[in-house]
Chain A
Amino acid sequence: MRLTSDQALELSKGFRGLAIVVGDYRYREWEHISRSQRQAIENWEWSLLNAAGDIITLAVGKVIDETKVALAKLNGSTADARSAVKKLTAVKGVINVATAAVALAGAIISGNTVAIVATLGGLVDATVDATKEKDA
């Protein structure tokens, strides 16, 4: 997995954006979710934010330089996830999407192409499932 620094910065924005909408969800549903659920979601917010920070660090180091996996797909995935979380009301769906996004961030940072493809699929599935739950 080789990304340019500019592309890495775009990805970082995607993860930060996801952290923000997950946080917005937690505040929106503050009165309707349990304390432990709030804590779990907050932990994912921090994980997503730190993933964004890790990717910024990678961008500066330029240890990732050229993309092999279509970047549009990666950026599209985090954009879809953001959009799904904005619409969600189910806690489980939010946590699943955040979990899948953090796994993808980890794979990107490790540079393992197989893991990136697998976790990318995971994020897409989690987003689709969460959206279905919402629509059901």
Chain B
Amino acid sequence: MRGRFVRRVLDLALVAVVSMGATSCANLAAIRDFATISSETASYTQLVSDYVASPTVQKRYQPPSNAGRLDEQAATRALQAPQLLFLHKSVAEYMDAMGKLAADEAPIYDKELDSLGSSAKNAKLADEKTVTAATTLGKCVFRAVADGWRRRQLANLVADADSSLQTVVAGLQVVTRAFFDDLDNERQALHIYYEDLCRLSSQAGGDAAAAGVAALKEWRDSRLEAIKARERAINAYGGVLEHIAKGHAKLYAERGRLSDKQLLSEMGQATKQMRELFGAVRELGGR
């Protein structure tokens, strides 16, 4: 009789553990993979480097009298760089922590996030709302680390961070559009430079001039192709950011049933598309 009672209690305890720990036992590989590709994407900062370098690149095309102005623009952008890197790093670290919880591993807090946050604040060019959101995101990661969170707390992390993550990613999306517009400026600078050179060379007349113009046009076209490739990279990057925002919003909305098959299947699809887009970013990005 006593043996049957103990067995019954053990059975009930087992049912309770299984139901309470559904999330902790489920295979959340799809969420881990989504977080991993999101973190990799956010760690990619070549576009920031291109943005900071753009005024200096334009010095090649513009008259020497404009050098001072372009230097000022480059200096302002160099001051903005820590802020932009802070935004990237915040998303990357958060997604890394989320991936680790999904894999039932202990998240890690990278102290570099603190120093980047300080640099961003010191730059005083930040939109307070975005920097605050990025800082909050860092605190979410810190809490997960300090409290020894594991997979069962994944839903808590997603709930804590969603609003801040959406703000930071929206900020990065605006910045990505600015990068795209910056390339339009570079294209026009290149157009003025080469068009004028071609016209002036043509005026000289003769075969040598014609050959020179042909060479100039070829060189111009190769530069334009490089700009087009970077445009495609920026568009692809914007696409991944959109997936990050939508994917996380989906996880937030469904945080009560993160092991749902349909949800995991959708996350898997999104991750596949993100990998393709990010592959294009890495292939096409950079000068």
Residues on A lying within 8 angstroms of B by beta carbon are 5-6, 9, 12-13, 16, 19-20, 23, 27, 30, 42-43, 45-46, 49-50, 52-54, 56-57, 59-63, 65
Contacts and interface: CB of A to CB of B under 8 A. Distances in A.
Contact of A62 (B73, B125, B189): B125
A27 B83 CA distance: 41
B113 interface: no
A70 to B, nearest CB: 21
B189 to A, nearest CB: 6
Nearest to A62: B127
A26 to B, nearest CB: 9
Nearest to A23: B192
A50 B188 contact: no
A46 B70 CA distance: 11
Interface string B70-82: 1001001100100
A50 B76 contact: no
Contacts of A65: 127
Given A53-B73, A60-B175, A65-B127, A46 B182 contact: no
Contact of B181 (A9, A30, A54): A9
Interface of B: 51, 54-55, 58, 62-63, 66, 69-70, 73, 76-77, 80, 83-84, 125-127, 130, 174-175, 177-178, 181-182, 184-185, 188-189, 191-192, 195-196, 199
B185 A60 contact: no
Contacts of A42: 192, 196
A51 to B, nearest CB: 10
Contacts of B178: 5, 9, 56, 59-60
A52 B51 CA distance: 14
A60 B69 CA distance: 18
B185 A49 contact: yes
Nearest to A5: B174
A27 B195 contact: yes
Contacts of A59: 174, 178
Point out which of A6, A30, A53, A60 has the most chain B C-beta atoms below 10 A from its C-beta.
A60
A53 B77 CA distance: 11
A101 to B, nearest CB: 15
Nearest to B130: A62
B208 to A, nearest CB: 22
A30 B202 CA distance: 13
B59 to A, nearest CB: 11
A12 B181 contact: yes
A65 B66 CA distance: 28
Contacts of A19: 188
28 contacts: A5-B178, A6-B174, A9-B178, A16-B181, A16-B184, A19-B188, A20-B188, A42-B192, A42-B196, A45-B192, A46-B63, A46-B192, A50-B62, A50-B66, A52-B181, A53-B58, A53-B182, A53-B185, A56-B178, A56-B182, A57-B73, A57-B76, A57-B80, A60-B80, A62-B125, A62-B126, A63-B125, A65-B127
B137 to A, nearest CB: 18
